[in-house]
Amino acid sequence: MSETPLLDELEKGRWPSFVTEMKRMAAVKPYSKNILLQLERSYVERVTHWKHGGIVGVRGYGGGVIGRYSDLPPEVMQTPEVHTLRVAQPAGWFYSTKALRKLCDVWEKHGSGFINLHGSTGDIILLGAQTASLQPCFEDLISIGFDLGGSGGDVRTLSCCGGPAFCQWSCIDTLDIYHELTMELQDEIHRPRFPYKFKIKIAGCPNDCVAALARADLAIIGTWRDSIKIDQEAVREYAKKGVNIAAVAARCPPQALEWDGKELRVIPEDCTRCMKCLSALPKAILPGDDRGVSILLGGKATILQGAFLGWVIVPFMKADKPYRELKELTRKILDWWDENAKTRERVGELVYRVGMRNFLKAIGQPPAPQMVYAPRANPYYFWSPEELEEVK
Amino acid sequence: MSGEKKYITDIGPPHYREMVHPVLMKNYGKWRYHEYVAPGIIKHVSMNGDEVYMVRAAIPKIVSVYFVRELCDIADKYSDGYVKFTSRHNVEFIVTDKNKLDGLLRELRERGWPVGGTGRSLKAIIHTQGWVHCHTAIIDAPGLAKALYDELYDYFVRDDLPGKLKIAIACCLNMCGAVHCSDLAFVGMHRKPPVVNDDIVSRLCEIPTLVASCPTAAIRPAPEKKSVIVNEERCMYCGNCYTVCPGMFIHNPKYDCLSMWVGGNAVAGGPPEFSRLAIPYLPNNPPRWPECVQAAKKVIDAWIKNAKKGERIGDWIKRIGWERFFTLTEIPFTDKHIDDFIFSLPTFRTTTQFKWR
Ligand code: HEM
Ligand code: SF4
Ligand code: SF4
Ligand code: SF4
Ligand code: SF4
């Protein structure tokens, strides 16, 4: 008789099964088997069996390890410590197999052998290690070139799209910005001292393949200020092959494209960089040359007051190496949030509470119509004393 | 110094220069265009004519080190010892030699790793940790994901849906995924207020933090007990208090359930949209959650049947209207569907112009 009849049901079907993967480890590691058996018990009772995390970690860091203890009695769960390590992924989730194999060796030695590639924030998740294994595991990780990511009230592990490594639309060097910002913020990532979490994501173009807009407190999204570049020869080539260019033009939301049967013209000041025509005619249309980033603030899921989508706080900023302006802005925002937020208040909620007016002043950014869909429709706005002095 | 090993910290992640396939590095920032070759295969062409094929395969969310080593074996054989993972947790093999494509596809097929997820297809389901890791998990997201995948498998390996289909699952309202902006999403929900354990609250929890954690101000201090009191009528079961304090026990398998959400997206081409409530209650029924799978199937079938080419679920609903959505899917509309939380007003219809069904 199987010890995991309910989980066995999840080995049926065509999709590869995580249960099969867990069983492979359970077959060789009693520790991993205990975790599997506890999971089966949750399936039977329809309830989780973890307690709130205790404080565990590695020397010198405050984050990167999530403490986990079983709530089952010791005779049922002999190894109640099942902590999780968050390991910062290389930019864009690119790996050499050499690096991945070393990671597997370290993890097989110190932990359950269960891995997520990757967690929702982006880290490699090493799922299940006992307290005594954490420090040696960390030191071995460091020795093979990996480091922990963030957890708790800190800057969380960043993430970015693959950008210039394979995508013609990337307007910025996403991988390098990821790496440079991550190195700049090592202390903020590893030692929680902030009111809550702070997520930063970097996408190379408005397609936003890392969903930064919806998920990051600070979304850095590549864009351009001049005009899309159209290769007329390639457009005609598409037309010859039967692609309906008039329909592509008709689908441009702000009606910025005109097709006269020979030439596809753009009205650059009307283009909102929605990427639709670039996606429809990838061989013919590319982003412009005056490239940089739009920065949006405040994206987050529902907890507490509701989900927020990031909104524009900097319509355009250049983002060339060494990214000084970008780094300075990030620090200004972090400091302001740190000083003003209540416990567990995300930066978007703070701005919502105190107003964009105060936020923009604090970070020294000028207000711009690009920041709103429409100006306010109520008459309740504030004047600062300095502004009234000016009038006098 | 002498002989003593230095304690090293803060080295950050491995540098991408060491991790990116050399051919991608050689053409870094010099890509010209891409082309969909077949479901799961995208060809990227650089300005100097180099071609690479990115082959996308799905992997389970929880894998073993053995699995990762197998993945490395495949990559050594077919993509020169380099791989990439995607923002939706697929693996991509980077094939520079076109002649190796068939062998790679055969090997992936033999191992049962689905190849697909490009273009107008089901994308990898973004889901959270569930009962294997999290103390606030109401459902097991990996299990539900597996059950959904088995049912929707064909939509991953084909690319002829009306539009992309992005599904997300969160096992509690903390929603550690993009659930709030997905075409279709499931979220684990409580339906009863927390039960206060005064002993634990007084010993382990900071009362002001706990009181402040409640979005509806349902928690009051009870100084005489060094604990708190919950005003049960105000509580909307978000579980936030339990996240900050173990004494606010909120799990209740008898009443806990799932909810289904539809129509969100987070892409370019228009402002992003939140997912909206479609079904307020679905039973928490492991190991395969058949009611949830069927509910998803029903909405997806209605969408496939009625949507125009290019429309994602949210686009389709926007065109036909929510009234028609509830008619077509035969999902009952309830008082739960009408927002009464903080930002509800903009969802109220302020015109006489609507459809009857
Ligand atoms: C050169 C072309 C493109 C490349 C190389 C690219 C790359 C990627 C990759 C690898 C993923 C993860 C996919 C997965 O694992 O299933 C992804 C996701 C995504 N892509 Fe793209 N993409 C491209 C075009 C587009 C287009 C045309 C759009 C929008 C119209 C878009 C928007 C997104 C979004 C929003 C996500 C998902 C984030 C999420 O929902 O979690 N991408 N992209
Ligand atoms: S966000 Fe833009 S640049 Fe980055 S991978 Fe997606 S399409 Fe390419
Ligand atoms: S990017 Fe979008 S807005 Fe700009 S021209 Fe193309 S379709 Fe129109
Ligand atoms: S969604 Fe909730 S239960 Fe699931 S991993 Fe996140 S916090 Fe844990
Ligand atoms: S579950 Fe949510 S609403 Fe209910 S008392 Fe706790 S924090 Fe308040």
Do A340 and A354 touch, CB atoms closer than 8 A? yes
Please state the rounded mean pLDDT for residues A352-380: 91
Q: What is the pLDDT of residue B350?
A: 66
* Cα distance between residue B201 and residue B210, in whole Å: 9
Min Cα distance B132 → chain A (Å) is: 6
Neighbour-count burial of B352, counting CB atoms closer than 10 A to its CB (0-12 exposed, 13-18 middle, 19+ buried): exposed
Give chain A positions within 8 Å (CB) of B135. Answer: 48, 50-53, 68
Answer whether B146 sits within 8 Å of A15, measured CB to CB.
yes
A206 and A241 housed in the same domain? no
A17 and A80 housed in the same domain? yes
Please state the rounded mean pLDDT for residues B242-262: 96
Do A14 and A20 touch, CB atoms closer than 8 A? no
Instruction: Answer yes or no: is pLDDT of A22 > 80.
Output: yes
Q: What is the pLDDT of residue A299?
A: 87
Choose from A7, A18, A114, A205 for mutation: most chain B CBs within 10 A. Answer: A18
User: What is the identity of the amino acid at A84?
Assistant: T
Q: What is the pLDDT of residue B317?
A: 96
DSSP string spanning A299-334? -B-STTT--B--EEEEEEE---TT-HHHHHHHHHHH
Ligand closest in space to the Cα of B267: 1
Domains B121-188+253-347 and B195-249 belong to one CATH topology: no
Q: Which CATH class is domain B121-188+253-347?
A: alpha beta
Q: CATH: 1.10.268.10, 3.30.2400.10, 3.30.70.3340, 3.40.50.2300. Which one for B16-115?
A: 3.30.70.3340
Boundary residue ending a domain (A113, A143, A173): A143
Average pLDDT, chain A: 95
Tell me whether residue A151 is in a domain: no
Other beta carbons within 10 angstroms of residue A279's beta carbon come to 15
* Cα distance between residue B155 and residue B143, in whole Å: 19
Size of interface A-B (CB pairs under 8 A): 334
Min Cα distance B329 → chain A (Å) is: 26
Answer whether A89 sits within 8 Å of B269, measured CB to CB.
no
Q: What is the pLDDT of residue B33?
A: 96
Answer whether B14 sits within 8 Å of A146, measured CB to CB.
yes
Average pLDDT, chain B: 94
Q: What is the pLDDT of residue B179?
A: 79
pLDDT band at B63 (very low <50, low <70, confident <90, very high): very high
pLDDT band at B340 (very low <50, low <70, confident <90, very high): confident
Q: How far is the CA of A91 from the centre of ligand 2 (A)?
A: 14
Other beta carbons within 10 angstroms of residue A390's beta carbon come to 9
Q: What is the pLDDT of residue B273?
A: 81
Answer whether A159 sits within 8 Å of B32, measured CB to CB.
no
Tell me whether residue A127 is in a domain: yes
Q: What is the pLDDT of residue B222?
A: 96
CA nearest ligand 5 atom 6, residue? B241
Give chain A positions within 8 Å (CB) of B60. Answer: 15-18, 20-21
Nearest by CB to A48, which of B65, B89, B135?
B135
A78 and A212 housed in the same domain? no
Q: What percent of chain B has pLDDT above 70? A: 96
Instruction: Answer yes or no: is pLDDT of A392 > 60.
Output: no
A103 and A42 housed in the same domain? yes
Give chain A positions within 8 Å (CB) of B268. Answer: 205-208, 273-276
Determine the atom of ligand 3 nearest the C-alpha atom of B269. 2
The answer to whether the Cα torsion of B94, B100, B104, B105 is positive or negative is: positive
Q: What is the CATH number of the domain that holds A214?
A: 3.30.413.10
Q: To which residue do tokens 């013919």 refer?
A: A284
Tell me whether residue A150 is in a domain: no
Reading the block at residue B89, the tokens are: 């947790």
Q: What is the pLDDT of residue A391?
A: 59
A179 and A272 housed in the same domain? no
Choose from A2, A14, A48 for mutation: most chain B CBs within 10 A. Answer: A48
Reported as a single tens digit per residue, the pLDDT across B84-110 is 999 999 999 999 999 999 999 999 999
Instruction: Answer yes or no: is pLDDT of B166 > 50.
Output: yes
Reading the block at residue B97, the tokens are: 């030699």
Answer whether B146 sits within 8 Å of A17, measured CB to CB.
yes
Instruction: Answer yes or no: is pLDDT of A300 > 90.
Output: no
Do B117 and B88 touch, CB atoms closer than 8 A? yes
Please state the rounded mean pLDDT for residues A82-95: 98
Give the domain range for residue A215: 159-225+290-387
Reported as a single tens digit per residue, the pLDDT across B296-336 is 999 999 999 999 999 999 999 999 999 999 999 999 999 99
Reported as a single tens digit per residue, the pLDDT across B262-299 is 999 876 556 678 899 999 999 999 999 999 999 999 99
Please state the rounded mean pLDDT for residues B45-55: 97
Instruction: Answer yes or no: is pLDDT of A48 > 50.
Output: yes
Answer whether A89 sits within 8 Å of B13, measured CB to CB.
yes
Nearest residue of B to residue A36 by CA position? B132
Q: What is the pLDDT of residue B67?
A: 98
CA nearest ligand 4 atom 7, residue? B174
Please state the rounded mean pLDDT for residues A100-122: 97
Q: How far is the CA of A203 from the centre of ligand 2 (A)?
A: 6
Domain locations in chain B?
16-115, 121-188+253-347, 195-249
Give chain B positions within 8 Å (CB) of A277. Answer: none
Q: What is the pLDDT of residue A225?
A: 96
Answer whether B33 sits within 8 Å of A170, measured CB to CB.
no
Nearest residue of A to residue B23 by CA position? A165
Q: What is the pLDDT of residue B1?
A: 45
pLDDT band at A304 (very low <50, low <70, confident <90, very high): low
Do B244 and B209 touch, CB atoms closer than 8 A? yes
Q: What is the pLDDT of residue A37?
A: 98
DSSP string spanning B156-222? HH--EEEEEE-EEEESSTT--SSGGG-SEEEEEE--SPPEE-HHHHHHH--HHHHHHT-TT--EEEE
List beta partners, residue B53.
B43, B95
Give chain A positions within 8 Å (CB) of B200. Answer: none
> Is any ligand 1 atom within 6 A of the Cβ of residue B123?
yes
Q: To which residue do tokens 């709530």 refer?
A: A71
Reported as a single tens digit per residue, the pLDDT across A313-336 is 999 999 999 999 999 999 999 999
Tell me whether residue A153 is in a domain: no
pLDDT band at B3 (very low <50, low <70, confident <90, very high): low
Answer whether B72 sits within 8 Å of A159, measured CB to CB.
no
Give chain B positions within 8 Å (CB) of A13. Answer: 146-147, 149-150, 153
Answer whether A118 sits within 8 Å of B59, measured CB to CB.
no
* Cα distance between residue A309 and residue A348, in whole Å: 9
Q: What percent of chain B has pLDDT above 90? A: 87
Give chain B positions within 8 Å (CB) of A108. Answer: 65
What is the second-level CATH architecture of the domain B195-249? 2-Layer Sandwich (3.30)
Work out how many domains chain A is built from and give that number. 3
B114 in helix, strand or coil?
coil
CA nearest ligand 5 atom 8, residue? B214
Among residues B264, B260, B136, which one has the least CA distance to residue B186?
B260
Do B138 and B289 touch, CB atoms closer than 8 A? no
How many residues appear in chain B? Answer: 357
Distance of CA B227 to the CA centre of its chain: 36
A311 and A181 housed in the same domain? yes
List beta partners, residue A115.
A126, B63
Please state the rounded mean pLDDT for residues A153-173: 97
A302 and A172 housed in the same domain? yes
Instruction: Answer yes or no: is pLDDT of A131 > 70.
Output: yes
Do B346 and B274 touch, CB atoms closer than 8 A? no
A181 and A312 housed in the same domain? yes
A294 and A207 housed in the same domain? yes
Q: How far is the CA of A35 from the centre of ligand 4 (A)?
A: 18
Determine the atom of ligand 3 nearest the C-alpha atom of A276. 7
Reported as a single tens digit per residue, the pLDDT across B199-250 is 999 999 999 999 999 989 999 999 999 999 999 999 999 999 999 999 999 9
CA nearest ligand 2 atom 8, residue? A167
Nearest by CB to B9, which of A61, A118, A159?
A61
A115 and A45 housed in the same domain? yes
Reported as a single tens digit per residue, the pLDDT across A254-276 is 999 999 999 999 999 999 999 99
Reported as a single tens digit per residue, the pLDDT across B286-296 is 999 999 999 99
A370 and A306 housed in the same domain? yes
Boundary residue ending a domain (A119, A143, A167): A143
Q: Which of B267, B312, B313 to mutate to test the pocket of ligand 1 (most atoms within 8 A of CB)?
A: B267
User: What is the identity of the amino acid at A115?
Assistant: I
Q: What is the pLDDT of residue B175?
A: 86
Q: What is the pLDDT of residue A53?
A: 78
Do A169 and A207 touch, CB atoms closer than 8 A? yes
A177 and A281 housed in the same domain? no
Q: What is the CATH number of the domain that holds A27?
A: 3.30.70.2500
